[in-house]
Amino acid sequence: GAVVSQHPSRVICKSGTSVKIECRSLDFQATTMFWYRQFPKQSLMLMATSNEGSKATYEQGVEKDKFLINHASLTLSTLTVTSAHPEDSSFYICSADPGSGTDTQYFGPGTRLTVL
Partner 1 sequence: KQEVTQIPAALSVPEGENLVLNCSFTDSAIYNLQWFRQDPGKGLTSLLLIQSSQREQTSGRLNASLDKSSGRSTLYIAASQPGDSATYLCAVSPTTASKLTFGTGTRLQVTL
Closest CA to 110 of 35, 17, 59: 35
Among 19, 25, 28, 32, binds partner 1 (CB under 8 A): 32
Q: Write the single-letter amino acid at 12.
A: I
Question: Is the CB of 19 or the CB of 33 nearer to partner 1?
Answer: 33
Distance of CA 71 to the CA centre of its chain: 10
Distances from the Cα of 75 to the Cαs of 2, 86, 114, in angstroms? 12, 30, 26
Q: Least distance in Å: CB of 85 to partner 1? A: 22
DSSP E strand boundaries for 39-115: 44-51, 57-58, 67-73, 76-81, 90-97, 106-107, 111-115
Q: How many residues bind partner 1 (CB under 8 A)?
A: 25
Among 28, 34, 58, 67, binds partner 1 (CB under 8 A): 34
Q: Does 8 bind partner 1 (CB under 8 A)?
A: no
Task: Please tell me the distance from the alpha carbon of residue 89 to that of residue 39, in angstroms, as a whole number.
Answer: 8
Among 46, 68, 74, 76, binds partner 1 (CB under 8 A): 46
Q: Does 97 bind partner 1 (CB under 8 A)?
A: yes
Q: Least distance in Å: CB of 34 to partner 1? A: 6
Q: Which residues bind partner 1 (CB under 8 A)?
A: 6, 32, 34, 36, 42-46, 49, 91, 93, 95, 97, 99, 101, 103-110, 112
